[in-house]
Structures are given as C-alpha cells and as structure tokens.
Amino acid sequence: MGEINTCPFCSGAPTLAAKSPVEGPTPWRVSCPKCWAAGPASTTEAEAISSWNRRAAVAELVEAGKFLLDRLVDHEVRMTSDADAREWNGHVTPAMARFRSLLSRHQAGPGKGGGG
C-alpha cells in the first residue's frame, strides 16, 4: 500500500477507510477528517490512495497556475507598444480568462462543483 499525500485543501492528514457494505461495491475511500474532503470510492486500497494522490497533484498545479497568472498580469501592465497590446489581447487575454475560469471551478472545493 502506498503513502497517502496530505490534504490538498487544508494540509490535513487523510485516512483510508472502508465504507460499510450497505454503501455499495466500492468499499475504499481516502478522506480528510479536518475539512471533510474525500477521494472517489474505489474497489481497492491502492486505487483509493492513487486517486487521492492525483487530486493533490492537481492542487499543486493550481498553485503554480495562480503564480503564473500573477506574473502575466505584471507583464500586461508593462506593455509599451500597440503591437504588444494587439498580441496580448488576441492570444494571452483569452487564455488567461479560460485559466481563471478553470481555477475558480477547482477552488469551489469538494461538493461545490469544483475539485471534488
């Protein structure tokens, strides 16, 4: 059985637990007792841990994306030519808007149409 990464939402220590048989055929789930985030129900312990750990990787990606957005906004403020502005508005601004939208959906958190 692999190591379980910390909770990507609150840095809590998640636990692996078996659901009761009444809850269905997928008995294993990793969840965080601190913020109640939970990974998907899985048929094996290893699958439950792997699914949880992928979620943590997504949270790290979100943090990196926020950092990049901040740097792009800094660059946008320093543009000096009309050509820079046209290029920015045609390509970078729409990409930033799409990325912000994806971030906001992910940050909605568990059970809120976002990360889980």
- Give the pLDDT confidence of 37-84 residue by residue, as tens digits: 888 888 899 999 998 988 767 777 777 777 777 777 776 666 677 877
Separation of alpha carbons 110 and 36, rounded Å: 8
Give the global pTM.
0.50
- pLDDT at position 40 is 85
Residue 4 has pLDDT above 90, yes or no: yes
Residue 37, classed as helix, strand or coil, is coil
pLDDT band for position 86 (cuts 50, 70, 90): confident
pLDDT band for position 106 (cuts 50, 70, 90): low
Cα of 37 vs its chain's centroid, Å = 12
Separation of alpha carbons 75 and 28, rounded Å: 46
Separation of alpha carbons 70 and 53, rounded Å: 27
Separation of alpha carbons 87 and 45, rounded Å: 49
Helices (H), 1-116: 45-77, 82-87, 93-107
For residues 108 and 41, the model is more confident at: 41
For residues 11 and 78, the model is more confident at: 11
Q: What is the number of other CB atoms lying within 10 angstroms of the CB of residue 13?
A: 11
Question: What length does the chain have?
Answer: 116
- pLDDT at position 112 is 43
